[in-house]
Amino acid sequence: MPRIVDKNAKRRSLIQAAAAVFAREGFARTKMAHIAAEAGVGKGTLYEYFASKDELFLAMCRDLVEWPEDISRFTEEPRQGLHDLILALVDSYERASGFFSILIDYWSVIIREKNEHGQLFLSRGADLYDQPRGLIASVIVVGQARGAFRQDLDATRTAQVIIAGIEGLRIQRALDPVHLDLNETVSCLADVMLARLAASAA
């Protein structure tokens, strides 16, 4: 009887192996053979799931981080919920081993390569942010509907600002880990954003 392969689980394991290699070696030096060896599979198996290194890298950037799934726990009380969600998003980033160095590689390709390769990565950039921005915007919309947040602020734009703040703090932490406590500064960021969002601030 042929062995049944859970393709979703297999794909996930290949992405995890790719993340380990990309974080260790960088995008430019990594070859599909390196990832196959890390995953303990043949290159043919790897190509069954991903047509190229670019496709694997882009899929990994999109799928490596496991974002919160149950949005309802953040919408019961939107003000506290948004604060908790921001911290949860940072925790999701932190639990995705090697993701920060991988993200720097992603940005480097876009900035340095003014060609079709760079354009491919640029065109897929939204994939990295759609889910976390969508989660934040959803909580803001609920808060606006309940009168907790200002009606005149655009939820999507505000979500973009929050994600930019999170990533900026993560860059600062990478450059100055001694003086920057990520959880404390992200909590401060959340407090600042909540003060801006508060209906009483209009």
Residue pLDDT, tens place only, 82-129: 999 999 999 998 888 788 888 888 888 888 888 888 888 888 888 889
Cα–Cα dist 32/170, whole Å: 29
56 and 77 share one domain: no
Q: How far is residue 42 from each of residues 35, 39, 119, measured CA to CA in Å?
A: 9, 9, 30
| pTM (two decimals) | 0.86
116 and 158 share one domain: yes
Residue ranges in the chain whose pLDDT is less than 70: 1-5, 201-202
Q: What is the identity of the amino acid at 21?
A: V
Closest alpha carbon to 188 in 166, 156, 171: 166
110 and 178 share one domain: yes
**Residue 38 is part of a domain; what is its CATH number?**
1.10.10.60
75 and 170 share one domain: yes
Does 1 fall in a domain?
Answer: no
pLDDT (tens digit per residue) in 90-101: 999 888 878 888
What range does the domain containing 48 cover? Answer: 7-62
Q: How far is residue 8 from each of residues 13, 61, 68, 127, 180, measured CA to CA in Å?
A: 9, 16, 19, 19, 38
Q: How many CB atoms lie within 10 A of CB 134?
A: 14
The pLDDT value given to residue 199: 81
29 and 84 share one domain: no
Closest alpha carbon to 21 in 105, 89, 121: 105
Domain ends where: 45, 62, 79? 62
The tally of domains found in the chain comes to 2
The pLDDT value given to residue 80: 95
